[in-house]
Structure 1
Amino acid sequence: MVKRFLVIGFISLTATIYAQDSIVQQNDSIPVQVKNVVLETENRPTFKHSLGDLTLKLNEEGDRFMKFGLNTQIWLRNTENNPGTLVNNLPQENTYDAGLRTLRVTLQAQLSPAYQIYLQVGVNNQSFISGGAAGNGAGKKPAIFFMDAYNELAIIPQKDFKTHQENKFNLYLGAGLHGFNGISRLSNASTSKMLLGDLPIFNYPNIEVSDQFARQIGVFVRGEYNKFNYRFAVNKPFAVNNQPNIGETVDNNQPGKLSYSGYVMYNFLNKETGSTAFLPGFYLGTKKVMNFGLGFYSSNDATLSQPVEGIYKRNNESVLSADFFTDLPIGRPSQEMALTFYTAFYRYNFGKNYLRNISIMNPGDTDYNYTGNKALEGPGNARNLLGTGNLWYTQLGFVLPKFSETIKLQPFASYTMKDLEGLNEIGSYFDIGANLFVFSQSAKISYQYSSRPLYDQVDKKIFDRKGEHILVFQLSF
């Protein structure tokens, strides 16, 4: 019934929006202006590729401004729970819910051509049972927090301040709570332009452990040299003092060592540039992009293990990655088709048999009275996220031939292979679905089905699979 509800809802929304097609065409590309605030839009005769930015210009030249952004992502979901799950203290094999996956408000203040302040505030992962503040119920009134808060200085700007000529080499220096991560393109991903309904999360190896929602506090440099794009950072990880059981390795950075990260990519075709940390997951064929990247992350004494009772050992954390991304228009220009492809290889080393589970808006708790075969991952929609070992991730999207002036359809699929030291069988994870873009890249409705393996607690081999249906409503500018 729930699956039918999700499909019917998706089809109904599609039909409703398509019925408005001819009306919307009449009002295409009309800039909105309120006093000094301008909603910038692209003047295109067909599909608009961006809703633009809400920008307050502070001078006539436009090199001093304040830019505001908003990103909301709403989920309707049907989850097949792992065995032995309680939902609101009752056993439940299948759960349907609605949730606020992300809500972000951003401010980018270019106070002078050389100086920038960037702030991002919001909430994540609020459902009927998760994300609530104390005293307000399990899901009510989640706490708002800063995801980004940093200052940035142009040491060598992209354009010379006086001549306005492009510099082949540019360098920016920043400090604060930031997301200029190393490792991979996906570790610097834009949540407003994801190819899939969500990121795979293992692209953030320290998520909500020694970082704050994929951010750490420190100093970073970023910039370009010809066709190379680079970013490096030295940060102070957030303190984590987990204690391991016998034979276990956990996050524990009590000695307080710094972390070092970097990512360098080479642009074979059009250059990708940006004034923030975030790289898009698609361009819908509006640019010819093909990049190859290498990245790393390291922090000494970041984990703690207990090989035998009473004996503890500290371990260094290291991550290496190589990835490839391309987004290209294909076929006749009038069809406006596009191909998006991304693949990445990660080598994680956190110490012997390190293994970490995670869940997104998990609806469940453990049923301790359940006598069946429980999953190593835990209750609800939990999965083995990452661990010491190798991970390979690939995603593919294809924009179908043009059938509307205001709508585009992009089927997608992804595959993840996890070969982790703490498990006795390689795991395969699958995602499949489609994006329905409405008016622009910034407004979309997505359907995604995800399939995950479940591991036995004893032999650590796969004994079952579970799935999850997600209908996503996203708007960003």
Structure 2
Amino acid sequence: MQFSRYALTLTALLAAEAVSAQVQPPPVGNPTSPPPAAPAPAPAPAAPTKSAPYGGGLKMNLSPDGSKYVRILLWTQVYARYTENNTGTLRAPGVPKSSQVDFGLRRSRMVVMAQLNPRFLVYTHLGINNQNAVSGGVAPTTDGKKPQFFIHEAVTEYKVNKYLSLGAGLHYYNGISRLTNASTTSILPMDLPLTNFPTIEQTDQFARWLGIYAKGRIGKFDYRVAMDDAFLTNQASNPLSLGTTTGGVSTGTGVANYNPQNTSHVYQGYFSYNFLEPEANLLPYTQGTYLGTKRVFSIGTGFLYNKDAMYSRTAGSAVAVTPGVAADPFGTIATNKHDMVMLGFDAFYDVPLDTASRTAITLYGVYYNYNMGPNHVRFVGAENPGYGASALRGNAVPLSGTGGVFYGQVGFLLPKNTLGAKARLQPYIAYQHANYEGLKNSAGDTQGVNITDAGLNVLLDGHNAKVTINYRARPDFTNLNDVQYRPEISLQTQVFL
């Protein structure tokens, strides 16, 4: 009991001492006290981050994993150009012009695509082409105002398995060659030769077709095949336009043209084998140059077949024409029908050369064999600066015809920092040689078509922002006995978002 009292007293004393220690102020000027802490420095502002590489369009994910999305692509190509015109060109009604500087929109387009899941794809491609102050508008050859904003492609596609996808609509899955399926945003030279689109705006809609297609890849082998309707064409044409009329007699010329009664399907395909890295094939557009980002070596072959696509009248065949009397020339004037058969064989090589300097080379070559009926030749000029309906006006050259065509291009991506850190330089040259049986001089000799382009791409942000300067030597076929070469100098700006 007495021990307990001692324990309680000791505990009380210890507790009182502890309380006294907690409230007792520290001694002033104690040399062992640590100095007060210095205030923390203000945080340094974050360094600006480098902009992320462009990812190919505005993509809006509709699902957390990105398997459902909507994607928008936009691009515009603007020309400033000096052109020495073909002989006899008018710039306005009754105003001949031997040359001029003009400006225009070569292309201004948009693609909207959506994917519900990896099996379903839908996309629409819209835009305008070839507008200048003279042509490309509502009346394409004589009015440059208010060009038609039209649908280039409208496609739905279903992926059957990893080897096969099926699609339908207004599509760009063409045959013949790689260049017939070319992307217009990654062209190596300033523009495509257009010979790669031999039926453009005749039996197709601006190199697009209404039909069905199948595409896919098996290992390193890529394929695309299509069955399409041929658009009705030359509806103002009839068998009389296949001849010359003098003194009430129409005489056939033996020159084929597009058959306005063509109702046959168009069959086409392109097949390629890639020896190095595979290329993207979600969309139909083939790359023109990879700027050293891939190693690609592809060889390919393609075709297009359309039964009775062309027609002609036998040279020298004559029929009487009664002025003022309505007649059915399709029923009364004999014509010959011709199948359209087009073949292409090509190779594409695009690889980096030196990883340190980031140089790269691009090579492409293609041979076309076109059978479009006897002596057929068609003239076209891109964004033509000439006024009127003459086929030879402005900058027109032979676009297609019955015969053979070789086209090749080579480009070299110069070392980085050649022009400083803000841009890359890519000089190139392209050459086309064609022999069309319908281009003969008075001696009966075929006049070859030779077109040379040489230029320089100034790549400010790859293909997404670039400026191209191009020189072209263009043949003027106004006089087949004296073909002259006319210069064109063009400056193109391209922005692709």
* 2-structure distance, mates of 1:293, 1:77: 34
TM-score normalised over the length of structure 2: 0.80
2:378 pairs with 1:363: no
**Which of the residues 141, 144, 159 maps onto 1:154?**
159
* SS across alignment from 1:378: coil
Deviation of 1:132 (Å): 2.0
Deviation of 1:151 (Å): 0.4
* 2-structure distance, mates of 1:408, 1:51: 19
* 1-structure distance, mates of 2:186, 2:262: 38
2:91 pairs with 1:106: no
Contact 2:392 2:477 in 1 (8 A): no
| Amino acid in the other structure paired with 1:92 | K
* 1-structure distance, mates of 2:83, 2:55: 32
1:111-151 deviation digits (Å, cap 9, x = unpaired): 2221110101111111011122269x922211210000010
2:421 pairs with 1:405: yes
* 2-structure distance, mates of 1:184, 1:134: 32
| Amino acid in the other structure paired with 1:69 | L
2:281 pairs with 1:274: yes
1:276-302 deviation digits (Å, cap 9, x = unpaired): 110110001110000000100000000
Higher relative contact order (CA 8 A, sep 6+): 1
Q: Which runs of 5+ in 1 are unaligned?
A: 1-24, 31-40, 42-49, 158-169, 368-375
Contact 1:253 1:301 in 2 (8 A): no
CA 1:395–1:134: 2 relative to 1, 3 Å: closer
* SS across alignment from 2:483: strand
1:419-459 deviation digits (Å, cap 9, x = unpaired): 111112222110000100002222110011111122354xx
Match in the other structure for 2:88: 84
* 2-structure distance, mates of 1:377, 1:175: 34
| Amino acid in the other structure paired with 2:307 | N
- Residues 351-430 of structure 1 correspond to what in structure 2 (within 5 A)? 351-365=373-387, 378-403=392-417, 404-423=420-439, 424-430=446-452
Match in the other structure for 2:68: 64
| Amino acid in the other structure paired with 1:327 | D
Deviation of 1:253 (Å): 4.7
Q: Structure 1 stretch 182-191 or stretch 396-405: which is displaced more?
A: 396-405
* 2-structure distance, mates of 1:212, 1:297: 15
* 2-structure distance, mates of 1:222, 1:410: 32
**Which of the residues 312, 315, 333 maps onto 2:338?**
315
2:182 pairs with 1:189: yes
Match in the other structure for 1:476: 496
* 2-structure distance, mates of 1:98, 1:450: 17
* 2-structure distance, mates of 1:101, 1:397: 22
Match in the other structure for 1:44: none
- Give aligned pairs, total: 411
Instruction: Kindly report the root-mean-square deviation, in angstroms, between the aligned alpha carbons of the 2 structures.
Output: 1.9
- Moved beyond 3 Å, runs of 4+: 25-28
Contact 2:220 2:278 in 1 (8 A): yes
The percent of aligned pairs where both chains have the same amino acid is 37
**Which of the residues 120, 124, 131 maps onto 1:126?**
131
Deviation of 1:223 (Å): 0.7
Q: Which runs of 5+ in 2 are unaligned?
A: 1-46, 244-251, 319-332, 440-445
* SS across alignment from 1:283: coil
* 2-structure distance, mates of 1:27, 1:379: 53
1:195-225 deviation digits (Å, cap 9, x = unpaired): 1111111101110111111001000001100
* SS across alignment from 1:439: coil
* SS across alignment from 2:309: strand
TM-score normalised over the length of structure 1: 0.83
CA 1:126–1:456: 2 relative to 1, 3 Å: closer
* 2-structure distance, mates of 1:151, 1:219: 10
* SS across alignment from 1:365: coil
| Larger of the two Rg values belongs to structure | 2
* 2-structure distance, mates of 1:463, 1:175: 45
* 1-structure distance, mates of 2:49, 2:482: 54
1:79-118 deviation digits (Å, cap 9, x = unpaired): 1001111101311111111101101111111022211101
| Amino acid in the other structure paired with 2:134 | I
**Which of the residues 221, 228, 252 maps onto 1:228?**
221
* SS across alignment from 2:335: strand
* SS across alignment from 1:187: helix
* 1-structure distance, mates of 2:263, 2:388: 33
Deviation of 1:361 (Å): 1.7
Contact 2:176 2:303 in 1 (8 A): yes
* 1-structure distance, mates of 2:75, 2:223: 26
**Which of the residues 348, 352, 363 maps onto 1:329?**
352
* SS across alignment from 2:356: helix
Match in the other structure for 2:171: 178
Contact 1:51 1:440 in 2 (8 A): no
* 1-structure distance, mates of 2:279, 2:296: 8
* SS across alignment from 1:335: coil
Contact 2:56 2:73 in 1 (8 A): no
